[in-house]
Structures are given as C-alpha cells and as structure tokens.
Chains A and B, each alone.
Chain A
Amino acid sequence: MKRKILMGLLLGLLLIGTLVNAEKIVVFFGDWMQSNFELYKQVNGYDLLEKFKEETGIEIEPVYYPFRELFQAIEVRMQAKSSEPDVFEVDSPLSVSYYVRGYTQPLDAYFSKEEIEEIKKKMFPATIEIATWDGKLLNLPFENSSQVMFINKDMFKKAGIEPPEMDVNKRWTWKQVVDAALKIQEAYRKEGKEVWGLLFGQVSRPYQMLPLPQSLGGGSGVSPDGYHVWGYLNNEKWKKAFDWWYKACNVWKIVPKGVTPEETTYLFLSGKVAMFIQGTWDIPTVVQAEKNGELQFEWGLAPHPYFKEGKPVTPTNSWHLAVNPYSKKKELGVKFLKFMARDDIIADWFRAIGQIVANREAMMKVLETDPKYKEFPWTVYKKIVVYELQNTAVPRPKTPLYLEWEDLVTKAFEDVRNGADPSATLDNYARILERMAAKYRKYKEGK
C-alpha cells in the first residue's frame, strides 16, 4: 500500500514536472492571424496552436501586431538583439534584407538537405525564389497572394462594351483596358457624372505596379546580383512602362490621383470604378457587401491584363516564417516551422481561411475536393489563380537594399502619377538608390 502511494506521488511529481516544464516559445504574428486562428478552429474543429502543443509538448505564446507595427516591433527587438520572439512572420520580399542584417538564419542550419528539397518541390515556385539567396533557403514560405481584375459590369453595360471574361485564354491587353476605360468615362461624362475606368489596389507600391515594367521585359529593377540599380531601374523598358503610367494618370486620366491604397477598395465598392486590379483577399469583402445589400452594381472577375508586346506578369508572395537567431530556444522554433510546412495542416488552413498559401500540394487538395470552389466568385481560383501562381507570378527583386528600393520606387510611381516627368524621375531615383547601394557593396567586398 505504502509503495503504491509512493509511486503515485512520484508519478504525480513527474507529471507536474512536465507541465511546469511545458516548453514555451513566443511567436510574433500580424494581428489578422488572431481572427484567422479562430476561423481555423471554427471550420476544422481543432485549434492549430493546441494541436502543435499536443504533438510536441511545446506551447506557443502568440503576440499580435497590426501590419505596420509588426515591422517596427521586429526592428526594435532585433536591434536590441532580444531573445524574444523565438519565431516571427517575415514579409517575404524582406527575406534577403533581414538575412544580411542577421535577423534570420537560413534553413540549412536546422533542416536536412532532403527536408529542404521536399519543401522546394511542394511550394509554388515564386515563393521559393523570393526566399533563396546564395543558394540557401532563408525562411519557410507560408502564405501567398495573387491578383485579379474586379469588374463593375453595370458600367460596361452603360458604355455598351462587353466586359472581359473569367478566362486566362481571353486575357485583356492594357490597350483594351485603356480603350474600355475611356469609353466608359465618356459615357458617364455625358450625364455629368465622374467615374474612373481603372484603379490599382495597392497603387504605387512595387508589389502592385511591378507587372507593368516586367510585362514589357524590363526586368526587376535591380541587377541580378542585387547590388546595382543604375541601368536596371532606368532602362528603356522601365521608362516605357513609366511613360504608360504617366499617360494613364495625366493624359488619358483613367486612373484617379490622390487615392491611397487604404481608400481604393472603398472607392470600388461605392460604384465609381470600372476595373479594379486587386488581390484575391478582397473577394470576401465584395461578397460581404453584396450580402449586406450595400453593393449597387453587378460585379465580375477577369485575369490581370498584360502588354501585348510582352508577356503576362502577376504580383505574388506574402508572409513567411523565420526563427530568431538570438532565440534561446531555436530547436523549438524549428519544430514549429516544420509543423507549418506539413501538407495536412496547410490544407486545413486554406480550407478555413481561404487566402492563398505557398504550399501548392495542400492548396490543390482543397480546390479539388471542396464544393465551395465550384461557384462564383470562388471559381476564379481554379480558373485563373492557380494558372497565375504557376506561370505568371513573378516575385519582387531580391536585394539587400530591398527596403530602400521599395520605398523609393513607390515614391517614383507616386511622383509620376502626380505629373512628374517619367524618364527624369526614374533617372533621379536610380541615382539615389545606386548611391545607397554603395554601403552594401562596401561590405560585400569584405571591408
């Protein structure tokens, strides 16, 4: 009897011991992930973080930040070389930039060669490309994105034009877009109303606008090795694309000035825009507005336009996951990364959240089996999105000075939108960026 009690006590202590020692890691997420996790639980019947804890014994303490502030928080922590967070979300175009600053370590430090090969095989190509540097995979692709053209069908009807169809084989050229936009605006002007033919969702941001020069074959705006900008940002094709952009905003006036990325969706919803190029994440927004009876027009979806003399290019990429090299619990963080690379987990993620993921295998599984994707507007995934992700998605340039590059190229697009000379603007910013690249080049040559 006494022995049994003793054993029971020992076992109890051991149990308490493991509970107390339940290892814990801190993960920084964007605050949209909080509602995503709730949605995940609702649809799949289990909590993702709980499941991770069950399988590995590691507890995750999620810390959520709003979009802009996530970057600031990461900056402050990394500058302070803090051991917290253990894992954090990385905006994928920043992969190289974070790497040269020592904010992340490449995956080959903790994954085996075979594991990395497996990851590369099952992700969409652009997600791997944006996170590869010096032959190494810098972080784990997690989410993804793609763009389509939202259409206000009523506006096309009024002008007597056939709107573009939801078919990648019937993709419109930019010329077709401009012609339609002008006709639609004219039709409304006759009634004294002002509307807009074309609107870009993330207007002036490279994420959104890069397809313009890239569709013409102008390249990514940075040298292949990532250390030079002059001659790559201001080459002939980029200038041609900027010239088109200048005309769209100032000559044909089909794109409104002054509307910020935060306002673009609101403008489309209010019925004033005929063609709206935006990410698929806004599809639920429009569906909801329609359900609420707020949408005053019939809408449709079509593929992203392209320049006839070039080839179709679409924006892509989203959030990845990385381990903090200053973390004291790196192996635990790695386990979380491996968990988030699993097909079954990501398939459940896509099923619940509906936003595009990097794991192609997981996404295709759901698209094939879930009946939701057989109806409008969700048919766009199979009809357009998958094609774009496999064939036309081009990542943003990989360069250590991506942060500076993105900020200044945005300014370049904005300046031209507001009337600055396209060619001179590109030359000017290329010059500034080339000078900024010098500080990275200096260290590359091994100072």
Chain B
Amino acid sequence: MSKLWRGSATLSKVYSKKYLKNARIAYLFLIPSMLGLIIFRIFPIVYSFIGSLFSVSYTRGGSLVFTGLQNYLDLFQDPLFWHSLKITLIFNLFVNPIQIVIALILAVLLNGTNLSTRIIRTLFLLPLGVSVVIASTIWGILLNPHEGLINSVLKTLGLPMQPFLTSPNQALWCIILIASWCGIPYWMIFLLAGLQNIPSEYYESAKIDGANCWQVFWYITLPLLRRPLVFVLVADTSANFLLFAPIFVLTRGGPQWSTNLLMYEAYTSAFIYSDFPRALTITSILLLMLLVVVLIEIKLLQKEE
C-alpha cells in the first residue's frame, strides 16, 4: 500500500489535505460497486482457487483432501490439457481480430442518422436477444452436412457440400462463425457509440483539406476510436476466452478433440465428470492467462496520460 502512496508522493506533498479529502470522496463513489464486485465476484473466485488445492477422496465418500498444488502438477502432465490450450490459443488468435474488424467496418458503414440506415442497423442487431446456446442450436441445424440449408444452397450453386461440424478441419472455423454471428452486433454497438463521439468538425475540416474516405478513416477515425477499441478488444478477448456454449451444444470438444476449448474442458470436469477440483484448477489457470493477455492489450494500446 505504501508503494502506491509514493507514486503520488509529489501530489500529496503539495495537496496533501485535498488529496485525503478527495480520496475519501473517491471511496464514496467506489464503495457500492466495489462492494458488489468483492462479495459476488472476488470472494467466490478466491474460494474457488482454494478449492483447486483440494482433491476428491472417493474412499471417504467424496470428501475433500488437501493436496496443495498436486492438481496443477497433474494437469500439466495431462496431454489433453496442452492440446486444449493449443486449440484455445488458435481459436482466440483468429476470432478476436475477425470479430473486431468486421464490427468496426459495419459500425463505420452504418454510422448514419437517416431512417434507412437506422432500419438496416436494427436488423443487424437481431442476434443480440438470442442466447449463444439457442444460436448454436439453430446454426447446428443449418450447418448439417446432409440436411442443412447451407449445404443445400451450395449444392444448388454447383459447389461441393461441406462436412462443417463433422470435420476436424472445419469444426473450429464453424465455431468461430457462430461466435462471430453472436458477437459482431454486440461489439458493433459499442463502436457505434465511440464513433458518435467524434465531433463532425474533424470530418468537415478533413473534407476541406481534400482527404479521401480511406485517409479519413485511417488518420482521424481510428485514432479517435482508440479508447472504445481498447474496451471492445479487452471485452471481446475475455468473452472469447471463456466461451464454450457452442461446443457444449454442438461438438462436445470433437470431432477428434479439434474444438476442445479449455473452458469447455473445465465445464466438462465440473458438471460432466463431477470433478470440481480439476475444473477449478483449469479456470484458475485460464483466469491468470486472461489477466496477462488483457493487461498486455491495455498497456500496448492505451495512451497513458
């Protein structure tokens, strides 16, 4: 705590009384939300982390035995863990840029106030109200290799039908597709809010200076969208790292483990294998990884003032 004080030591020397007074006011602003977060999020996750230090003893009828970091060691020796980790990293490497870039393009293109734009924009928001579970079920029917709509359209157009979710090579891409269908409208809204915040004067003066739309986008829009973009990147990364609903509904980690995301492995351990300690171990690792990734994203892209 004292180290954090020293960071603002210069301020405290000059404004020490004011600083303390402000700090008190800051806490008043913070307490409702922080209290909620600590009680309903932080405390449970600490409890869960502690839970990962125990194992189930099947001789004592399922009671827990303290085993320290044994669960972590067991996990690191499990080839399935490393495979799931690889799949998770590949998945996130592709799904995040795809979702954000498309959401950005759509936000820019649909950034208008006339009625037709508003109607089209609203249509693009249709996937929002549908839960990921329902969306996965519907896409599962559409992507069916024999009976699905997508394949029947391909067949009619003379193109070869695809195995989609039944192929180890295509399944993960189908999951990316479904996750994008659900996610893009969501991120589009946040980016739209950010776009609306850019004063029109900038665009007008750029037009006067003779800039074309690509230059406007690159040199004006993007830099001014930095903060909303960082928000979307962080939120999207965390949402995708923790995603497993389409796997749960459609592929259950297959075919041939090609879609076995780490979060799904955790869910399976908890609710299918009834092995909560293993599940908590996986989620603790996942949380740590995610925290590191998010901090890097913020550090790299956020301007420190």
A positions within 8 Å CB-CB of B: 71-72, 75, 78-79, 97, 100-103, 194, 256-260, 262-263, 267, 272, 325, 400, 403-404, 407, 410-411, 414-415, 417-420, 432, 436, 439-440, 443-444, 446-447
Contact = CB atoms under 8 A, between A and B. Distances in A.
Closest 10 CB pairs of A and B: A102-B61, A102-B62, A101-B62, A443-B58, A418-B166, A258-B145, A443-B59, A258-B144, A100-B58, A418-B255
A190 to B, nearest CB: 18
Interface of B: 56-63, 80, 137, 140-141, 143-148, 163-168, 250, 252-257, 268, 270-274, 276
A208 B117 CA distance: 52
A380 B297 CA distance: 65
* Chain B interface SS verdict (over half): loop
B58 A403 contact: no
B3 to A, nearest CB: 39
B146 A257 contact: yes
B166 A447 contact: no
A257 B163 contact: yes
B272 A444 contact: no
A130 to B, nearest CB: 18
A327 to B, nearest CB: 15
B27 to A, nearest CB: 33
Given A75-B271, A407-B268, A414-B254, A446 B146 contact: no
Contact of B254 (A257, A325, A411): A411
B276 A79 contact: yes
Contact of A102 (B63, B144, B254, B256): B63
A76 to B, nearest CB: 9
Contacts of B268: 407
B59 A444 contact: yes
A267 B276 CA distance: 37
6 contacts: A75-B274, A258-B145, A407-B273, A418-B167, A418-B256, A420-B256
Given A100-B61, A257-B163, A410-B252, A403 B273 contact: yes
B147 A259 contact: yes
A440 B271 CA distance: 18
B63 A72 contact: no
Nearest to A101: B62
Most buried by A among B143, B147, B274, B276: B274
A256 B268 CA distance: 27
A195 to B, nearest CB: 10
Nearest to B165: A258
Nearest to A440: B58
Contacts of A419: 166-167
Contacts of B254: 411, 414-415, 418
A101 B56 contact: yes
A446 B59 contact: yes
A440 B145 CA distance: 39
A72 B164 CA distance: 30
Contacts of B253: 411
Contacts of A446: 59
Given A411-B253, A418-B166, A420-B256, A256 B146 contact: yes
A428 to B, nearest CB: 9
B276 A258 contact: no
B274 A263 contact: no
Nearest to A262: B137
A78 B274 CA distance: 10
A33 B139 CA distance: 30
A70 to B, nearest CB: 11
B270 A75 contact: yes
